[in-house]
Amino acid sequence: MEKYRFLLSGSGGQGVITMAIILAEAAAIYEDRVAVQSQSYGPEARGGATRSDVILSDSEIYFPKVNQPNVLVALTNEAANKYLGLILPGGLCLFDSELVQPSAKVDFIHYGIPMFRAVKEKFGRTQAYNVCVLGALATITGAVRLESLEKVLNSRFASAHHAANKQALELGAELARPLLA
Amino acid sequence: MSVNNYIRERFFPHLWCPGCGHGTILNALLRTVESLGIDKSNMCMVSGIGCSARISGYVDFHSMHSMHGRALACATGIKMIKPELNVVVPMGDGDAMAIGGNHFIHACRRNIDMVAIIMNNRIYGMTGGQYSPLSGSGILATTAPYRSIDREFDATQLAMGAGATFVARTTAFHVKEIGSLLKKAFEHKGFSVVEVLTQCPTYFGRKNKFGGPVQMLEWYRDNTAPLGSKKLEENSDLIPRGVFRQVDAPEYCAEYAKIVEKAHKE
Amino acid sequence: MSHKTTPDICFVQGNEACVRGALYAGLRFFAGYPITPSTEIAEHLAEQLPRAGGRFIQMEDEIASMCAVCGASLAGAKAMTATSGPGFSLKQEAIGYAVMTEIPCVVVNVQRAGPSTGLATKVAQGDVNQARWGTHGDHSIVVLTASSVQDVFNVTIEAFNIAETYRTPVILLFDEVVGHMREKLVIPPEGEIPVVQRLRTEVKPGVNYHPYLPREDGRLPMSDFGGAHRYNVTGLYHDIWGFPTENPEQVDKLIHHLVDKLENRAEKLALWKEYYVEDAEHLLISYGSSARSARHLVETRRAKGDRIGLLELQTLWPFPAQLVREKTAKAKNIFMVEMNMGQVLAQVKQVVQRPDRVFLVNSMDGQMVTPADIGKIMRVVEGRGF
């Protein structure tokens, strides 16, 4: 497996950090890979731009932070503006096409998906937004299997949410698949 | 059984000055524990720093001579682990009302079952006679050469305001009353505060021309009156003595036992 | 803990690994006060301690928390508190009390940037000397660190074992990065990692028990408050009964006992990890999260054939002088990687043969020192420019 250096970013309340934890835990616990997750703490964790780093690897991870992501997730314009410049040239960026208009100057592979709108249309609410992003992210990168993410979600949330989480994961995957063709 | 069974004789003579009221409190405490028939091994005393704090060395209990003001916090740790112990915490002015003031109000608030004795001599004796939060204004002390301008705490009012469920006051003159109030305090399930006005002839008395120990004790006799007494009703300048409050409220360790039960179920 | 035979595998923060390690070691009492970045330790223990039959209390302040730990330990419970930054300053008084009265306990300090309120949510390693000398008066103390979630778990158990064996406070000096980062944690079945139980006296009730009379092996068997033996504990210099004394001979004996019981065992208490030290021309020394950056650089440059190695210290105090002297003997250049102004650097310089060949690589801006930071300083030292 190639080494994944994810930088997940958005605004407080979008579930960015939870998303990062689920992604890393899925790889570490259900796919027996090495994973490190870290996050920025402080006022920004209570509204404003929020960021969490996840590194996935087959071998030991030393430096735990992501300085140059090969995968960036940006869920707000503010986050995109702040972190797009860090991306490894030729790296991949998943962004919410409804919320983010990324700079055309940066060399990266675009994956713009209107995930927020899709979640709102399907569920009438946006709680499962980050799960939908995870579904899209896993599909685009192949970094973790959807089943692994589902296992983590089932272990972390009450059974009442299991069905909706699965639907949200699949929604993200469905939205992402056409872009890979 | 004699009260001598409750002391560590090898630790005597004690270090208190002649005429100090602290020994009277020790005496009343030992007689109370004896009268209640509490086994010495079920008694735990935690003290802070100061003249009052040395009392913990003299009793044949489990004894922790801790840090200035920190006795209640240390005692809280002991009580949480051994709720069955009878914990008594004697404190001086500084221990209870100054450096340990925060621990005091929070122990009152938690209503953890222990007996706090405030040995109020209106002075810092161990360090040689500086004014305390219980001195009040107009008092001479080594750090108040022009007389103190600090107002004093009313320890009983503070205790009640902070939520203590048993609050009482007496003086070193009223020896039997110390015993009867301590007895009630030990029998009360919750945080009990007993303030005892106790004379420091060496530093407070001498400096403020209060006379010797006898005169100071007479002052307590003449300037205090029992709660509900005609004497007190007729003269509001007198310092009230007796039980100010005794109410039942959930005790902290008992409540925590319920948490343990709850945690096991979930 | 149940009698499982398979390990428990989870994905947790360093702070939770500390909690799991403490519970594995038999923690039964925790008192604390919320402070970033250590708060998760209190939060997890509030939930998990009562389940383990223990007691959790959120005290009115940092001081009270440390005092309650002292009391609870005397009452027979393995006890711990956790804090950061200013909270560690406030605990120093009662840490000194625990040193003097030989109360076994564990104090976690998840370091953040100081002085004062500093950077409450950012990483630093500036409390190394405070952990050693924060409380007044001459004394010795044990300070351990960790660089990964698994290591946090392991050294936490070790901290309790040392605390119980030597009747001393042990400081766990973590940092914000290690405390907050999540990694896989493998918790072995009960019994797999040795746990030192409290040594209690065998002196029968009614027979004189001397709480401060060391056995031949130097250990002091304890008796729980509330147990058969009633004795005195004081922060004053005391005799074998625990009674205050000013006798110069007894005072002298006690201070030497308190210092020697740890300093004489510095090598035994030394925990460390090493990578490619044997033939390293360039030796990096580090600890905590900075050791991860050092390791990153070492692995990268080893792959290119450079003779570079890393000594990761897990015991900072008592300073493992002998170990550092031996491991650095062959190195041409030594790079001390830490996030402070050179607190361990000063110790290293004292024990190596060539102090002029010891260089500091640090970061003091609230950000983790990076492999690139280390690489830059090395280039300068090697005469290859910045």
Q: Which chains touch B (3 or more CB pairs under 8 A)?
A: C
Residue B233, classified by CB atoms within 10 Å of its CB into exposed (0-12), middle (13-18) or buried (19+), is exposed
pTM: 0.97
Percent of chain C's residues with pLDDT above 90: 97
- pLDDT of A2 above 80: no
Q: At what angle do helices C149-166 and C14-24 cross, to 10 degrees?
A: 40
Query: B56 at the C interface (CB within 8 A)?
Result: yes
Residue C369 CB: number of other CB atoms within 10 A?
Answer: 26
The count of structural domains within chain A is 1
* CA atoms within a 13 Å half-sphere pointing along the CA-CB vector of C320: 22
Of B64, B102, B264, the CB nearest to C51: B264
B113: tokens are 């079952």
- Domains of chain C, start order: 8-187 (3.40.50.970), 272-381 (3.40.50.920)
* CA atoms within a 13 Å half-sphere pointing along the CA-CB vector of B189: 10
Residue A45: pLDDT band by 50, 70, 90 thresholds? low
A4: tokens are 């994944």
Instruction: Please provide the distance, in angstroms rounded to a whole number, between the alpha carbons at the two ends of chain A.
Output: 22
How many angstroms from the chain centroid is the CA of residue B264? 38
Question: Which residue, among C41, C154, C137, has the nearest Cα to C95 in the 3D structure?
Answer: C137
Mutate to test the interface with A, among C8, C176, C184, C293 (most CBs of A within 10 A): C184
- pLDDT at position A108, please? 86
Residue A104: pLDDT band by 50, 70, 90 thresholds? confident
For chain C, what is the mean pLDDT?
97
- pLDDT at position B95, please? 98
User: At C144, which helix (H) or strand (E)?
Assistant: strand C142-144
Question: Which residue, among A106, A112, A70, A96, has the nearest Cα to A10 in the 3D structure?
Answer: A96
Output the domain CATH number for residue A159: 3.40.920.10
Of A25, A42, A62, the CB nearest to C11: A25
Sheet strands side by side (includes C182-187): A108-113, A91-96, A71-74, A4-11, A49-57, A34-39, C182-187, C8-13
ipTM over 0.90: yes
- pLDDT at position A46, please? 57
Instruction: Report CB contact under 8 Å: B263, C63.
Output: no
**Parallel/antiparallel/unpaired status of strands B86-91 and C232-234:** unpaired
User: At B90, which helix (H) or strand (E)?
Assistant: strand B86-91
- pLDDT at position A40, please? 81
CATH code for the domain defined by B3-265: 3.40.50.970
How many angstroms from the chain centroid is the CA of residue C4? 29
State residue B144 phi and psi, 5-degree precision.
-135, 65
Q: How far apart are CA C361 and CA C261, in angstroms?
A: 33
B117: tokens are 């004795």
**Residue of chain C minimizing CA distance to A32:** C184
Distances (CA, A) of C126 to B101, B199, B238, C177, C237: 31, 49, 57, 14, 31
Instruction: Report CB contact under 8 Å: C121, A34.
Output: no
Residue-wise pLDDT tens digits, C190-216: 999 999 999 999 999 999 999 999 998
State residue B163 phi and psi, 5-degree precision.
105, 10
**Three-class HEC string of A42-64:** CCCECECEEEEEEEEECCCCCCC
Please indicate whether chains B and C are in contact, defined as at least 3 beta carbon pairs under 8 Å: yes
Q: How far apart are CA B201 and CA B210, in angstroms?
A: 8
- pLDDT of C16 above 60: yes
| pLDDT average, residue stretch C347-355 | 97
Distances (CA, A) of A100 to A11, A16, A18, A132, C284: 12, 15, 21, 16, 44
- pLDDT at position C315, please? 98
Distances (CA, A) of A123 to A14, A132, B86, C197: 16, 11, 60, 55
Residues of A in contact with C11 (CB under 8 A): 21, 24-25, 28-29, 35, 37
Query: B9 at the C interface (CB within 8 A)?
Result: no
Reading chain B (266 residues) residue by residue, the pLDDT tens digits are 588 999 999 889 999 999 999 999 999 999 999 999 999 999 999 999 999 999 999 999 999 999 999 999 999 999 999 999 999 999 999 999 999 999 999 999 999 999 999 999 999 999 999 999 999 999 999 999 999 999 999 999 999 999 999 999 999 999 999 999 999 999 999 999 999 999 999 999 999 999 999 999 999 999 999 999 999 999 999 999 999 999 999 999 999 999 999 999 98
A165 Cα to chain C: minimum distance (Å)? 20
Specify the 3-state DSSP secondary structure of A6: strand
Residue-wise pLDDT tens digits, C247-258: 999 999 999 999
Residues of A in contact with C370 (CB under 8 A): 63, 65, 67
Residue-wise pLDDT tens digits, B134-185: 999 999 999 999 999 999 999 999 999 999 999 999 999 999 999 999 999 9
- pLDDT at position B11, please? 87
Residues of C in contact with A28 (CB under 8 A): 11, 183-184
Residue found by looking up tokens 């009614």 in the block: C206
- pLDDT at position C327, please? 98
- pLDDT at position A42, please? 59
Residue A88: pLDDT band by 50, 70, 90 thresholds? very high
**Residue of chain C minimizing CA distance to A53:** C181
Instruction: Report CB contact under 8 Å: C370, A67.
Output: yes
Query: C57 at the B interface (CB within 8 A)?
Result: yes
A131: tokens are 């799960």
User: Per-domain residue ranges for chain B?
Assistant: 3-265
Q: Which residues pair with A95 in a beta bridge?
A: A74, A112
- pLDDT of C1 above 50: no
Specify the 3-state DSSP secondary structure of C213: coil
Residue-wise pLDDT tens digits, A27-36: 999 999 999 9
Alpha helix locations (H) across chain C? 14-24, 39-51, 62-74, 85-101, 128-133, 149-166, 176-180, 248-263, 266-269, 290-303, 321-327, 343-351, 371-381
C183 Cα to chain A: minimum distance (Å)? 5
Q: How far apart are CA C101 and CA B64, in angstroms?
A: 10
Q: Residue A91: which domain range?
A: 4-180
